[in-house]
Amino acid sequence: MHLIIRGVSTPEGFNVIPNELIEYYESLVKEQGLPSSEDNQHLRAYVVELKDLWEKRVILRELRQRSGMEVCSGEVDCVETPSTVCMNRSHPTCPKHTDDCFLCVPVSSLSRKAR
């Protein structure tokens, strides 16, 4: 998935993301929530809904980050507002992701997990 976002550049060189765009994706994420397995009789429909929700959450997180808002350094689709830091005290996280900060994972361990 490629995300191309055009914002307004400031004199400092920052790309400003319009608040309306962030608010739009926040409303989409809120309105969808996580579907319950009882509501979905067909696995295919359930997977499609989860994928759609995941993509919107990732887009919202990216928009927030590009606009200068802090985002959780836990999972890539986490849209919780960071209120803590990771165990290494290096990156902002939400309380659920203090022990699995993806920015602190050594590159060598990532290559081992992929095998």
Q: What is the pLDDT of residues 20-41, one digit of tens each?
A: 888 888 888 887 666 555 554 6
Question: For residues 95 and 72, is the Cβ–Cβ distance under 8 A?
Answer: no
| pLDDT bucket at 113, cuts 50 / 70 / 90 | low
3-state secondary structure of 15: strand
Per DSSP, what are the bridge partners of residue 84? 93
Report yes or no on whether pTM surpasses 0.75. Answer: no
Q: Where are the beta strands (DSSP E) in the chain?
A: 8-9, 15-16, 84-85, 92-93
3-state secondary structure of 113: helix
Is the pLDDT at 108 greater than 80? The verdict is: no
What is the Cα–Cα distance from 32 to 74, expressed in whole angstroms?
A: 21
